[in-house]
């Protein structure tokens, strides 16, 4: 194992190891209700090892997955305590995602403080759900917690479940499938995963959506039912697991995100809130989907440097904000997020173009959205790595229920960094409908690569209706950083769904859980002096976007 960890430490550019003699012991951590959580403690076997700081990870995915990181950190002078969440991988109690993490986290800290090998200095780390376990205790951190590393995660779970108001069907089914099969014996687990693609297709097509877990797993799953049956933002179910109000209390935080990650928008919002409160935080955003290898390799490396600086007293080696610019394929360093940018507005035109010139008087463009044949999702922010990330959208754009608006070829490079926003003047035959918008980079060969997108679920009365029946919708897309190279074109897609990433809108206003009836919507997109539909891009100053950095091939997008 030491040869493997030495090679990995070298490849990951970890700080130099101080020892390769490492031990691991299993521990039992008592909770106040009599349940014991199982943990592994990785620690260095060398003189003075009893004085090393403790890194804490709480995970529902098993301690073996974290064990390699445990060894790498132990070789660098840390103790790494890896705790299996309640009801998972030997820990007692019932596995209920999210509900016990705050109370169990406080109990783990109290236990940690009493251990003879604890010397009064600790930090937390972990990605995805493991990052959420850190947010759950942010408001109650003991003073000995000196740092945190939060990878591809967010403090508010509800916004992940209902982005734009629509249920994240694909993600919630995929995650439920992972959670429900991960502790099966190996053969059964492999068999479940081999049939997973067909089962997912069957489940996402199921109406009503509350039966999707049965289609996937053959039974209802309690927590999936909770998620899909509580779709209102102010539903009391969500308040106890929204830790957004607590983010300013977090320890000095290393944050790590990806442009195609499902938690990107929430994580950048958390970063801004932490910085606005005057707390210490840094940010990396790379060209990654949620589960890409490059994502976690970079996260581990930067976590090692962050912990070495904050717990070991080494100099800080990381910039405040470092982002990967798609298109140009290079990293740039920034003082903060978002960087200062010049907002440039492009108007939707009647000839399907985008222009900085306002559109003339013209009739609206139209399409029909039929939930019996919902507009499919292609790429973007999804948990399933094969379905996620940058994809060629030309097949999608040939559908009759997708409108596209495209600039002329650009005379020079244009770098967009920040949040993209749109204003659409629309009219629908239904009072309940969705609108989905997506920004794409169209290469000279015609490939249309998705960069960022956003969806808004419109309900009766949720948006003011004007006398002519139109609605003015403000849609904020997920943030991005991309250089549209000279000769490329900027494209905006407009449609009314991306299924199964978002549960289809049935058009009836029924609950997403119990919907049965499917009604088609006739949609109109306006672009005239009275109804100027636009997209606003944050364009970076050339001097900033051209700052010297490591650079790769110019005309490719990356996810790892």
Q: Show me where the domains of the chain are located.
A: 2-154+244-318, 168-229, 342-545
295 φ, ψ (degrees, to nearest 5):
-60, -55
Structure tokens of 487?
A: 């000769």
Q: Is 140 a catalytic residue?
A: no
Catalytic residue among 40, 261, 365, 453: 261
Longest CA–CA separation in the chain, Å: 80
Nearest-5° angle of CA 157, CA 391, CA 449? 105
Considering the segment(s) 342-545 as one domain, its CATH architecture is: Sandwich (2.60)
| Residue 369 burial by Cβ neighbours in a 10 Å radius (0-12, 13-18, 19+) | buried
Cβ pair 357, 347 in contact under 8 A:
yes
User: Which pLDDT score, from 0 to 100, does residue 331 have?
Assistant: 97
- List all residues 6 or more positions away from 500 whose beta carbon is below 8 Å from its beta carbon: 169, 170, 173, 204, 205, 377
Structure tokens of 343?
A: 């907002």
User: Around Cβ 464, how many Cβ atoms within 10 Å?
Assistant: 8
User: Which pLDDT score, from 0 to 100, does residue 484 have?
Assistant: 98
Catalytic residue among 5, 84, 128, 533: 128
Pairing of strands 122-127, 54-59: parallel
Task: Name the residue among 345, 343, 342 with its Cα closest to residue 355.
Answer: 345
User: Which pLDDT score, from 0 to 100, does residue 88 have?
Assistant: 97
CATH number, span 2-154+244-318: 3.40.50.1820
Q: Is 516 a catalytic residue?
A: no
Task: Name the residue among 277, 271, 266, 273 with its Cα closest to residue 320.
Answer: 271
User: Which pLDDT score, from 0 to 100, does residue 555 have?
Assistant: 39
Q: What is the DSSP letter of 464?
A: P
Q: What is the DSSP letter of 490?
A: E
Catalytic residue among 80, 256, 290, 310: 290
Distance from CA of residue 459 to its chain's centroid? 25
Q: Is 401 a catalytic residue?
A: no
> pLDDT digit of tens for each residue in the chain (560 aa)?
577 777 878 777 888 888 889 999 999 999 999 999 999 999 998 766 566 999 999 999 999 878 889 999 999 999 999 999 999 999 999 999 999 999 999 999 999 999 999 999 999 999 999 999 999 999 989 999 999 999 999 999 999 999 999 999 999 999 999 999 999 888 777 777 666 788 999 999 999 999 999 999 999 999 999 999 999 889 999 999 999 999 999 999 999 999 999 999 999 999 999 999 999 999 999 999 999 989 999 999 999 999 999 998 777 778 999 999 999 999 999 999 999 999 999 999 999 999 999 999 999 999 999 999 999 999 999 999 999 999 999 999 999 999 999 999 999 999 999 999 999 999 999 999 999 999 999 999 999 999 999 999 999 999 999 999 999 999 999 999 999 999 999 999 999 999 999 999 999 998 888 888 999 999 999 999 999 999 999 999 864 555 555 554 443 455 44
- Where do runs of H (alpha helix) occur along 15-148? 63-74, 101-113, 129-135
Cβ pair 539, 439 in contact under 8 A:
no
Task: Name the residue among 44, 2, 6, 40 with its Cα closest to residue 22.
Answer: 44
For the chain, what is the total number of helices (H) and then of strands (E)? 14, 23
């Amino acid at each position: 194992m030491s040869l493997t960890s030495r090679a990995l430490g070298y490849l990951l550019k970890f700080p130099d190891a101080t020892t390769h003699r490492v031990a691991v012991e299993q521990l039992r951590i008592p909770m106040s209700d009599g349940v014991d959580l199982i943990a592994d403690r990785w620690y260095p076997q060398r003189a003075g090892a009893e004085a090393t700081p403790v890194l804490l990870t709480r995970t529902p995915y098993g301690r073996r997955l974290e064990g390699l990181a445990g060894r790498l950190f132990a070789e660098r002078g840390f103790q790494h305590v890896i705790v299996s969440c309640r009801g998972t991988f030997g820990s007692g109690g019932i596995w209920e995602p999210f509900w016990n993490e705050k109370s169990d986290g406080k109990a783990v800290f109290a236990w940690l403080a009493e251990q003879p090998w604890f010397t009064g200095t600790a930090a937390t780390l972990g990605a995805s759900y493991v990052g959420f376990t850190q947010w759950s205790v942010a408001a109650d951190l003991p003073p000995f917690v000196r740092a945190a590393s939060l990878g591809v995660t967010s403090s508010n779970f509800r916004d992940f479940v209902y982005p734009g108001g629509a249920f994240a069907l694909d993600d919630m089914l995929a995650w439920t499938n992972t959670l429900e099969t991960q502790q099966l014996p190996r053969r059964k687990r492999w068999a479940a995963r081999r049939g997973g693609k067909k089962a997912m297709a069957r489940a996402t097509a199921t109406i009503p959506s509350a039966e999707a877990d049965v289609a996937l797993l053959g039974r209802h799953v309690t927590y999936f039912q909770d998620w899909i049956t509580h779709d209102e933002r102010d539903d009391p179910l969500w308040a106890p697991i929204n830790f957004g109000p607590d983010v300013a209390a977090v320890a000095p935080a290393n944050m790590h995100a990806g442009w195609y990650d499902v938690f990107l928008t929430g994580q950048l919002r958390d970063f801004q809130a932490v910085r606005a409160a005057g707390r210490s935080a840094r940010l990396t955003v790379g060209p990654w989907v949620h589960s890409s290898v490059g994502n976690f390799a970079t996260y581990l490396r930067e976590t090692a440097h962050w912990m070495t600086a904050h717990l070991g007293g080494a100099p800080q080696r990381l910039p405040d904000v470092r982002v990967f610019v798609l298109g140009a394929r290079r990293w740039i360093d920034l003082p903060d997020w978002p960087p200062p940018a010049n907002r440039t507005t492009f108007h939707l035109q009647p000839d399907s173009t985008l222009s900085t010139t306002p559109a003339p008087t013209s009739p609206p463009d139209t399409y029909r959205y039929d939930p019996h044949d919902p507009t499919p999702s292609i790429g973007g922010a999804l948990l399933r790595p094969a379905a996620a990330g940058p994809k060629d959208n030309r097949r999608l754009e040939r559908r009759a229920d997708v409108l596209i608006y495209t600039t002329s070829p650009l005379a020079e490079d244009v770098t967009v960094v920040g949040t993209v926003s749109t204003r659409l003047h629309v009219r629908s035959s239904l009072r309940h409908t969705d609108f989905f918008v997506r920004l794409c980079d169209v290469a000279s060969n015609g490939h249309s690569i998705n960069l960022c997108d956003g969806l808004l679920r419109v309900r009766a009365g949720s948006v003011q209706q004007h006398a002519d029946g139109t609605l003015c919708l403000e849609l904020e897309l997920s943030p991005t950083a991309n250089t549209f190279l000279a000769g490329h074109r900027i494209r905006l897609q407009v449609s009314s769904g991306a299924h199964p990433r978002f549960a289809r809108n049935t058009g009836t206003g029924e609950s997403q859980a119990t919907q049965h009836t499917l009604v088609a919507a006739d949609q109109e997109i306006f672009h005239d002096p009275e109804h100027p539909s636009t997209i606003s891009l944050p364009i970076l100053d050339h001097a900033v976007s051209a700052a010297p950095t490591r650079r790769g091939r110019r005309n490719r997008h990356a996810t790892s």
